[in-house]
Amino acid sequence: MVIRALKQEFQGLEATQIHDENSLSLSLAEDPFDLIITDFQLNWSTGLQLLARFRKHSPNAPIIMYTGTGNELVAVEAMKSGVEDYIVKSVSNIKYLVSATRACLEKKHERMRGRLPEGRLEMMVSHLNIGAFRPTLAGVLLSANAVFLEMLGFNSIEEACLLAFRNPKDGFHDLESVLREILGGSARGKSEIRITRTCGKKVWISVSLIISSQFPQEVEGMVEDISARKNDEQLDTEKQDSLRQGEHLDSIAQLAGGVAHDFNNMLTTINGLSELLLEKVESSELRQDIIEIHKAGSQAAKLTSDLLSFGRRQMLEKRVVDLNKLICNHEDLIREKIAESWIYESNLCADPLLVKVDQGHMKRVILNLLNNAIEALGHSDQGRITIVTGRADLKGKSEAAGFQKGFSGPQDAIIPGRYVFLSITDSGIGMEPSTLARIFEPFFTTKVRKGPGMSLASVYGIVRQSEGYVLVKSAPMKGSTFRVLLPAVS
């Protein structure tokens, strides 16, 4: 039907039909084609895969993709690869195919006579949100469509000639450096780069370039804004890192909890018998040895308790408490721990914040996070510690993701719901990403005064056993914020 329509329009047309690899090879051994029409999805290949072979055989032949199996992404890729036009296959669109064929042949004849219409790039991608531009290899911008100017933030072609792609921080000082970087001495090239728009906003773009076969000193280029995809990829990477960290901690917690449970049974015997011996032995020398045994056993029991918390093996006596009252009840103890020269701020929610937790274990969470903030400030004469509480009504995944933005945590994404949160922020030395990735592991510590390294591990275990989440945000010399999220109780 297509060939019949074309023969009616073009007298003397000779059409070669290619059905398989064998007929393609035979055709490519003959003279170059004047024009090529290809489908996207073939039984034995795809139109995109054949483009390079067509280009090599018939470099001056326009290529039209006429398909019913493509989509917008296929259309974009086809246009980037040098397809002259893209038409959706249907009986009613045959007339458009005929018109496109005539237009392509006319453009070809104009190119062969050395007259390239200035609006060609604009016409080629007018129906797609793609920037098109044509520079020289020396970096002089000859033409560009409106999408290109808008995407990069230019008001005119003259302004774009001076500033296109300029981004000194990423090593691109002008258009010529971008062309040189992407082409790298080849006739075509493609790259994803980050640039700064004239307004200062950073955007990611995909740039496709090909040196003109008719004008070797000119380049035909296309630009697509891929910032949304790059942001999604970054979020996916952060989610995967968080998931791996959570799985890693869960494995350690399972092992630590099992060992601690058995070890705790043995310590109960040791500490119990040492207490009985202390009641019976009066000899000062022997009694002192038993006191040291009991002291070591008590310290081991404390460490074992932390391990059980981390492994979520502790017996929690959960009851409904007001998180604000829990903090206020221990505020005197909190203020005692903070140096007089430091600033302490307490911004508690005016309304009661009811949560169902073990009151004793939640006190440990608060004090452990506070001690961590104090350690971060070290011996500094100036410092600030801030405690904040509030509500977080996360109705959907987007709100939950927004609440986590900028924070990391060793667990899956937050499940939407009603929560209460506690944040403790310090103005201390902050942490490197490598440290952030391990801070909730048992026995890992960066403290100047070395301890067992169990405080944050026990925080993680207690909060997770309370069906909550622990988030952290930190950077070197910019302080740290730990945020605990707990299910709210009506």
Q: What pLDDT does 315 receive?
A: 62
Residue boundaries of the structural domains of the chain: 2-115, 122-225, 233-487
pLDDT score of 162: 56
State how far the alpha carbon of 354 is from the alpha carbons of 16, 257, 315, 370, 425, in Å: 78, 29, 21, 21, 22
Please name the CATH architecture into which domain 122-225 falls: 2-Layer Sandwich (3.30)
Res 391 pLDDT > 60: yes
- Does the pLDDT at position 451 exceed 80? no
Burial 376-412 (b: 16+ CB within 10 A, else e): bbeeeeebbbbbbbbebebeeeeebeebbeebbbbbe
> Which top CATH class is 233-487?
alpha beta
More confident residue, 118 or 2: 2
Q: Which of 23-27, 183-187, 270-274, 474-478 has the lowest mean pLDDT?
A: 270-274
Instruction: Quote the pLDDT of residue 247.
Output: 59
Give helix 284-310 / helix 455-465 axis angle, nearest 10°.
50
The pLDDT of residue 258 is 56
Is pLDDT above 60 for 77? Answer: yes
Instruction: Find the range with the poorest average confidence among 62-71, 284-293, 309-318, 455-464.
Output: 309-318
On the CB side of 264, CA atoms within 13 Å amount to 17
* pLDDT single digits (tens) 284-331: 778 888 888 878 877 777 666 665 555 555 566 788 999 999 999 888
Kindly report, residue by residue over 256-268, the tens digit of the pLDDT. Answer: 555 666 666 777 7
pLDDT, mean of residues 472-483: 92
User: Residue 123: helix, strand or coil by DSSP?
Assistant: helix
125 vs 435, higher pLDDT: 435
Average pLDDT of the chain, as a whole number: 80
Answer whether residue 112 shows pLDDT above 80.
no
CA distances from 120 to 14, 87, 100, 206, 298 (A): 27, 17, 13, 21, 83
251: confidence class by pLDDT, cuts 50, 70, 90 = low
* The pLDDT value given to residue 425: 95
pLDDT digits (tens, 9 = 90+) for 333-368: 888 888 788 999 999 999 999 999 888 888 889 988
Q: Does domain 2-115 have CATH number 3.40.50.2300?
A: yes
Q: Is the pLDDT of residue 199 over 50?
A: yes
Helix (H, G, I), strand (E, B) or coil at 287: helix
Task: Give pTM, 2 decimals.
Answer: 0.46
